[in-house]
Structure 1
């Protein structure tokens, strides 16, 4: 996970929060979060990188639509990242 960009980590989080999201659904979620347009030329190469790294599986819903799911490794990597973040960020602390 250490070698991923922040955008790639965000892709993993979005994919993990949905059941077999397709590319445009992922794109819409990220556009809402980033409050700007995400171009296909950025989205799909990064999704392919996650597939190549074994963190995400790509399936085909129909001839034009792919969907994405986390692999077991992808889930483990997200869990490990959360554990690491929790060492440094205490969301339960009194303000």
Structure 2
């Protein structure tokens, strides 16, 4: 997790918070959070990086639509990150 960008970590959080979100749903969530447009050229290469790292799995809903889910490793990494953050930030 330490080698991910902040944007990639945010992608993991969005994917974890939705049930099999497709790329455009992820994009819309992040655009709301960042309050600016997220370009496809930024979104999809970062999703592919998370897939390549074994943190996210990409499935196919139909010929045009992919969906994303956390792998077990991705879930463990996200939980470890939250635990680490909890040492420093108490809400």
Category of TM-score, reference length = shorter chain: over 0.9
Is 1:69 aligned to residue 59 of structure 2? no
| Structure 1: 4+ residue segments shifted above 3 A | none
Q: How many residue pairs were aligned?
A: 91
Question: TM-score if structure 1 supplies the norm length?
Answer: 0.95
- Please give the alpha-carbon distance, in whole angstroms, between the structure 1 residues aligned to 2:90 and 2:36: 29
The residue aligned with 2:78 is 78
Q: Distance in 1 between matches of 2:30 and 2:90?
A: 25
> Is residue 2:13 matched to residue 1:13?
yes
Structure 1 gaps of 5+ residues are none
> Could you tell me the TM-score, scaled by structure 2's length?
1.00
Map 1:80-95 to 2 at 5 A.
Answer: 80-91=80-91
Deviations 1:51-84 (A, max 9, x none): 0000000000000000000000000000000000
**1:44 aligned to 2:44?**
yes
Query: Is 1:54 the counterpart of 2:58 in the alignment?
Result: no
